[in-house]
Amino acid sequence: MTLGIFVFYDKDGIVDRYVEFFLNSLKQVTDRLVIVINGAVSADGLERFGRISDDVICRDNKGYDAGGYRAALLHDIGREELKKYDELVLCNDTCYGPFVPFTHIWEQMEEKEADFWGLNCICNGLTDHMQAYFLVFRKRLLENEFLYRFFETEINDQSGDVREIIAVFEKGLYKKLTESGYKPGVYIENNNLNMYMCGDVLLQKYGFPFLKKKCFDVKYNDNCFSAVDALRWIDAHTAYDTELILENVKRLYGFPYTTADMLPEDNRITYGPVFAINAEKLNDFVDKADKLFIYGCGAYAKEIYYLYVKKSGKLKGFVVSDNQQDNITDLYGYPIYKISELGTDVPMIVAMSKKNIEEVRKHLKQTNAIFLF
């Protein structure tokens, strides 16, 4: 038997038709489907969900998707009930699709030996992970309570920090699973493509069964014609109704393009981050240090803290530049220092974006520092 948990969030509480299509498709491979609504939902939307499933949970919009999964697992399903299932699907509303039946995806994955699987995997040597919009966990992880205990002890379902949730849930869970000897599986070939900027390439070259919503958001994809090309391909090569996508896209992003727009010749292919170090090198640095500081308080700093430094017990604090104007004095209970307050020989992990690291590198006087980029 297969249990599915689907987490929904919409800033206006509107359930668009693409969500209904997704859920009705998912019901083809699940025996029980729990729908978790994070935040508000319209009366019409709640009625639509009620027609799809008898298990609908409404909760405050806290903890993001991971908080919603935790609420369903701990408070609706329970430890013993979870053990009765052969598979658990965790998924959310951040994708359009599927463009092939879920039954086809399941048939493909049944041939692969894995304790858990996802649709794609990012393998960069430092923050490897399966992206958590769609994950499947098999019997072994349900029966031995590994997954249940992870959500019970690791996930803060009240968190308002999306980068913390990504670090702990999406990247942290994958690390814990693989380090514990559990075998991952993946539906499409590992390629490290930026999913938001290369939706068309993922569809056409790799047979990716979804299109991420943020492909249409200019904050994440400044190459909007790649999204148009993806729409045109879906229209031409699948039975999926692209009006389901455009209905949601126009409401959320005001996307002005249509499938009739032409794709310019300068379409880019963009990959995820390429780090200057790998896990082995960073672990070696952490092992040799008697104390540690992390330069940065953003996304990369939080990921490195959770994935590599927290369990060492060596962290003494986070570090910011002298001109940093924020009044925050601590992060996760550790003090935040100005760089000038520290000696030049303290072991330091510079965990920032490539652009910020290049700027910091010009002025950093620390002689015992390791850089992500």
Longest dimension (CA), the chain: 63
Question: What's the whole-number mean pLDDT along residues 233-242?
Answer: 94
Q: What is the pLDDT of residue 27?
A: 97
The amino acid at 54: D
Dump pLDDT digits (tens) for 265-286: 445 566 778 899 999 999 999 9
Question: What's the whole-number mean pLDDT along residues 2-29?
Answer: 97
| Cβ-count burial 335-365 (b if 16+ within 10 Å, e if not) | ebbebeebeeebbbbbbbeeebbeebeeebe
Nearest CA-CA partner of 135 in 156, 151, 124: 151
Dump pLDDT digits (tens) for 45-102: 999 999 999 999 999 999 999 999 999 999 999 999 999 999 999 999 999 999 999 9
Dump pLDDT digits (tens) for 297-341: 999 999 999 999 999 999 999 999 988 877 788 999 999 999 999
Average per-residue pLDDT for the chain = 92
Cα→Cα distances 203→12, 185, 219, 228, Å: 29, 19, 21, 12
pTM of the model: 0.86
> How many angstroms separate the CA atoms of 70 and 156, rounded?
9
